Amino acid sequence: MSYQYEHDGAEIYRQSFAMIRAEADLSGLPADVAQVTVRMIHACGQVDLVRDVAWSPDVVARAREALHAGAPVLCDAQMVAAGVTRRRLPKDNDVICTLNDPRTAGLAREMGTTRTAAAMHLWGDRLDGAVVAIGNAPTALFHLLEMVADGAPRPAAVIGIPVGFIGAVESKDALAASDLDFLVVRGRRGGSAITAAAVNAIASEAE
Amino acid sequence: MSYQYEHDGAEIYRQSFAMIRAEADLSGLPADVAQVTVRMIHACGQVDLVRDVAWSPDVVARAREALHAGAPVLCDAQMVAAGVTRRRLPKDNDVICTLNDPRTAGLAREMGTTRTAAAMHLWGDRLDGAVVAIGNAPTALFHLLEMVADGAPRPAAVIGIPVGFIGAVESKDALAASDLDFLVVRGRRGGSAITAAAVNAIASEAE
């Protein structure tokens, strides 16, 4: 038994990206943000995602420069880290998630916050010039903003696309109101797949 | 500096699930499918996902029985596997993704298909009675249906929620038309986060 469907992976990508470019209204986006948005749309199957995408003017350029300089990708969730395609990274960059570090649970209790927020303190100086990818927890994004405001090293760019019903909208609005270079999807939508797709698009322009 | 937001992880979950139950119309769903759907909505931030959820009557019960009997969770993508919360699994079940197995690329060339589809042949007899979770590639879902129709062992249930523009709609329709126990999200929406959320909800009723 066999079904009729496209079997060639490269051709599936080509057709998918062509369909997205035909259906999505990318006219209001700078070229580099549009290229990233196409891949985010690919990850969620919804061309209307474009209306919720917001960015600081230099975010894609800054994040690309950072990756080409060897900066790590710091992720709030294992799924985000798992979704970053290693062969797209220009310098075999480290992709780091400290959520399952043995120190994280104790630190969370001590700080009175979520494990996700506590895990970010284990990034230490690696935050300096890093590409931060937050695709799961609003608490992580809020806490990153607090850490930077309180003197932590500044990342090169923050891809802040947590998903959900409690704090997601507000945390992304707070990032967009900060002085960090940012890419967000406003509203409740987001998540690890869209976030990893954004990192993958920034890492390489290859479609 | 600090923002006003809920810091308590358990409370964030509680409020999130309460909001989803208040906003989503779950009245047309059996109780067990509704519980799974709440968690899928949580993973994508969209309460209207419910209108696209389709299922066979026994899918949640069958998948639960399988996990309690120690069946593995077979995943098409690393992100799906990364999203399965191990402590929710009743029997410390194996969570398997063979996409990065060293044999997969050669097998794909030999078979003239995608790596994702080829990887499934490495599941072998573990497919028998397994919970299959396909959250990325329509080709994987099509190929699974072909394998089973051609005599491969039958899984206990198929969570088939690939995302995208080429083949996603059609592959999910084909699964729903098959004689396998299935859970799908019709249309283009889907992906690894929603799929892993479905597995996590099936694995444990704890919210």
A139 with B16: Cβ contact below 8 A: no
Nearest CA in chain A to B23: A165
pLDDT at B35: 98
Per the annotation, the verdict on B68 as an active-site residue is no
**pLDDT at res. B207:** 81
- Which of B1, B8, B142 is facing A3, going by the closest CB pair? B142
The answer to whether the CB of A203 falls within 8 A of the CB of A90 is: yes
Q: Tokens representing A27?
A: 């006219």
Q: Report pLDDT for A112.
A: 86
Given this model, what pLDDT does residue B63 score?
98
State the Cα torsion A136-A142-A145-A149 to the nearest 10°: -160
pLDDT at B1 over 80: no
- A4-8 long-range CB contacts below 8 Å, 24 or more apart? A5/B138, A5/B139, A5/B142, A5/B167, A5/B170, A5/B171, A6/B139, A6/B166, A6/B167, A7/B112, A7/B113, A7/B114, A7/B117, A7/B139, A8/B114
The rounded mean pLDDT for chain B is 96
pLDDT (average), residues B51-79: 97
Which of A115, A192, A195 to probe by mutation at the B interface, max B CB count within 10 Å? Answer: A192
- The reply to whether residue A139 touches residue B7, judged by beta carbons under 8 angstroms, is yes
Kindly list the residues from chain B whose CB atom is less than 8 angstroms away from the CB atom of residue A20.
Answer: 165
Nearest to A80 by CA among A187, A19, A15, A162: A162
Residue A138 CA to residue B142 CA, distance in Å, equals 36
> Rounded to a whole number, what is the distance in Å from the CA of B140 to chain A's nearest CA?
10
Mean pLDDT of B153-162: 98
ipTM of the complex: 0.95
By the 8 A CB rule, do A67 and A54 touch?
no
Residue B132 above 90 pLDDT? yes
Beta-bridged to residue A159, according to DSSP, are A133, A183
How many Cβ atoms from other residues are within 10 Å of residue B1's Cβ?
9
Q: Which among B149, B164, B196 is the nearest to A16, CB-wise?
A: B164
| CB-based contact B192 A79, cutoff 8 Å | yes
Active site residues of A: 42
* pLDDT for residue B117: 86
Please give, rounded to a whole number of angstroms, the shortest distance from the CA of A75 to a CA of chain B: 13
Q: Do A45 and B145 touch (CB under 8 A)?
A: no
| pLDDT < 70: residue spans in chain A | none
Cβ contacts of A115 on chain B, cutoff 8 Å: 9
Q: Helix, strand, or coil here: A139?
A: helix
CA distance B150 to chain A (A): 6
Is residue B44 within 8 A of residue B68, CB to CB? The reply is: no
CATH code matching the domain that covers B9-203, chosen among 3.30.360.10, 3.40.50.1220, 3.40.50.10230, 1.10.3720.10: 3.40.50.10230
Torsion angle in degrees (nearest 10) through CA of B158, B161, B164, B168: 40
Q: Considering only CA atoms, which of A106, A110, A162 is closest in space to residue A132? A: A162
Q: How far apart are CA B143 and CA B108, in angstroms?
A: 12
> Residues of A with CB below 8 A from B6's CB?
139, 166-167
* Spatial CA neighbour of A148 closest among A174, A112, A114: A174
**Smallest CA–CA separation between A40 and chain B, in Å?**
11
Percent of chain B at pLDDT exceeding 90 = 92
Whole-model pTM: value is 0.96
> In the structure encoding, which two tokens stand for residue B158, read together?
């198929």
| B46 CA: distance to closest CA in chain A (Å) | 7
Partner residue facing B15 (CB), from A46, A81, A166: A166
The domain ranges of chain B are 9-203
- Within 8 A of B81 by CB-CB distance, chain A residues are 82
What does the pLDDT read at residue B9?
Answer: 84
Interface touch B6/A167, C-beta < 8 Å: yes
**Catalytic site residue from B7, B42, B68, B121:** B42
Residue B22 tokens, joined: 């208040």
Nearest to A112 among B7, B142, B174 (CB): B7
